[in-house]
Structure 1
């Protein structure tokens, strides 16, 4: 806001992708809380919205959605990669005794680093990565076989150009991933212990008039549409359960400016229809 005062009137909009689904809502909720405190000599941040693309937000339901998306009720492309033996194995890994669901419950009941790191490790290895090990298909676009031709990496060089960094006010180079950061997060079981906080943060934002948009590609296994719908149901926005289906184009103006927030229909098909609350 200080660096780009000409944009202040537009408000602040926070967006997150993938694991950003954990922290975009929490950061936004914290901003709103600080605004309410009214501390002298501080800046009020005019937060207007958050949006989360293909977000992994709540492991309590989204690990189970891996089974739902790949086995039952399945994905919009009718890709059924597992035989009966593998389907049963994935079910047991997720819902059986000592499986992922039990470990998620244990973590959220007793959120210590050890318990939650164990839940993370088990669920990632035996549930999330089950697709990668057994299908030969790209997890971010199940229509493609692995190795997929994307994501392209040329955006990294673009973001590290001096003129681009000056334009966006960046003081450091962009790094696509940090092994050290990943290890630090994994050691606390961060992935498995923050779901309730994320959901509550989104509820708080909606109650304060902040727009929350979740958008998900229907060919993405990794943070799939079924899991996103489960999270949206947990948040329980007003009129969400009774909202009907609308075509996405109904929310676009002639210049293709999005006029509403939307999500994929609960029926999964057709892929051009969305549910809007």
Structure 2
């Protein structure tokens, strides 16, 4: 598995170790590294400049290409291509064991798993695997302190039911559209329940994928050229151009420096995405309560203008999660998240659980609100209320 590792610009010996996970599934974490919260950004002439808001200012940060087959991670055995997040979690745990064996000086640092989008599936699965490894004394103990999911897909039943509500509230659809979309929800929900039944056929999960994504696709069709990653924007065809990233990483000199041989970098790979379709509608919220009860804190954050993994669906699953602190969290007041005296979002927190709706942001929050996102993650890791 290929990864980038950057020491903290502050204090590598004491700052936490963060693993940042990108979604897709099948999209390289180089996207986050060079377009969001990494230490560098790529210029038009393919040189690198410092990112003043890189998260390496407050952490030692790892960007790992996973599942196997993503980015520069590769395999010669098709059996290594994963079909669910539990399988990816096996590889992730092995990777972290190898990392801390190679870099034992970081093994005692606080450890956080953070990511975005489809990482809403990965992160709970990975954290569950780390927790089990620690409990069973399988290898090097990992000092896991918290998880943060940004604009993620974690609890599909609640989140897919929220699509039409969000779209109507943001005036992307009208009431007639809303009523029509409502007729698709029961089949989606039934499919998710069948997918969640371990004794049911695996084909049920694939069918649920198509039934549920039909809700999202119909909203996208209604909105026309609205960018579903940021509904403030319009686009036709591809909404984002990542050609600079591809051009930079595919330079022979860069590939040699990275030790990846003749592997050609591709931003997002269908060869990883397609096998993961049966995993899409599985509910990974179910493992989070046990993590909270074991003292692992959770931050869920989402941009107000993201349709893809909208804040409303994320807020609803966080509220609905059953754990010992649920009642206190649900009744907790929402308060402004301020950065340099300006309101940058709305947050709710109780105990180990925090939710943040980020203002003026779409799907990729560190790209849209770099200063606010750095302040968010710094305060949260340091235990300072947002």
Match of 1:14 among 88, 113, 118: 113
Displacement of 1:104 in angstroms is: 2.3
Do residues 58 (structure 1) and 155 (structure 2) align?
yes
**Is the Cα–Cα contact under 8 Å of residues 131 and 139 in structure 1 kept in the other structure?**
no
Aligned CA RMSD, in angstroms, stands at 3.3
Q: Which runs of 5+ in 2 are unaligned?
A: 1-99, 342-348, 362-371, 377-384
Do residues 45 (structure 1) and 136 (structure 2) align?
no
**Is the Cα–Cα contact under 8 Å of residues 151 and 310 in structure 2 kept in the other structure?**
yes
Question: Which residue in 2 is equivalent to 1:256?
Answer: none
Are the structure 2 counterparts of residues 153 and 52 from structure 1 closer, same or farther at C-alpha, using a change threshold of 3 Å?
farther
Give deviations 1:46-85, integer Å, cap 9, x for gaps.
Answer: 11211111101111111111011112xx2xxxx3132343
**Is the Cα–Cα contact under 8 Å of residues 158 and 164 in structure 1 kept in the other structure?**
no
Match of 1:70 among 151, 167, 173: 167
Do residues 218 (structure 1) and 315 (structure 2) align?
no
Are the structure 2 counterparts of residues 153 and 106 from structure 1 closer, same or farther at C-alpha, using a change threshold of 3 Å?
same
Give deviations 1:194-236, integer Å, cap 9, x for gaps.
Answer: 20xx212211211111121111111001101111112212334
CA distance in structure 1 between the aligned counterparts of 2:116 and 2:215, rounded to whole angstroms: 21
**Is the Cα–Cα contact under 8 Å of residues 108 and 142 in structure 2 kept in the other structure?**
no
TM-score, structure 1 as length reference = 0.75
Question: Which residue in 1 is equivalent to 2:334?
Answer: 245
Question: Which residue in 1 is equivalent to 2:229?
Answer: 140
Do residues 26 (structure 1) and 125 (structure 2) align?
yes
Are the structure 2 counterparts of residues 70 and 29 from structure 1 closer, same or farther at C-alpha, using a change threshold of 3 Å?
same
Displacement of 1:135 in angstroms is: 0.4
Structure 2 counterpart SS, 1:146: coil
Displacement of 1:240 in angstroms is: 1.0
Displacement of 1:150 in angstroms is: 3.1
Are the structure 2 counterparts of residues 3 and 163 from structure 1 closer, same or farther at C-alpha, using a change threshold of 3 Å?
farther
Do residues 205 (structure 1) and 291 (structure 2) align?
yes
CA distance in structure 1 between the aligned counterparts of 2:295 and 2:340, rounded to whole angstroms: 20
Question: Which residue in 2 is equivalent to 1:108?
Answer: 196
Displacement of 1:4 in angstroms is: 3.1
Structure 1 counterpart SS, 2:114: strand
Q: Which runs of 5+ in 1 are unaligned?
A: 253-259
**May I ask how many residue pairs the two structures share in their alignment?**
245
Displacement of 1:11 in angstroms is: 2.2
Give deviations 1:168-213, integer Å, cap 9, x for gaps.
Answer: x9xx876432212222122xx2111x20xx2122112111111211
**Is the Cα–Cα contact under 8 Å of residues 304 and 359 in structure 2 kept in the other structure?**
no
Displacement of 1:163 in angstroms is: 8.9
CA distance in structure 1 between the aligned counterparts of 2:275 and 2:359, rounded to whole angstroms: 40
Question: Which residue in 1 is equivalent to 2:185?
Answer: 94
Give deviations 1:241-263, integer Å, cap 9, x for gaps.
Answer: 121122212899xxxxxxx8742
Are the structure 2 counterparts of residues 250 and 140 from structure 1 closer, same or farther at C-alpha, using a change threshold of 3 Å?
closer
Structure 2 counterpart SS, 1:52: strand
CA distance in structure 2 between the aligned counterparts of 1:15 and 1:38, rounded to whole angstroms: 24
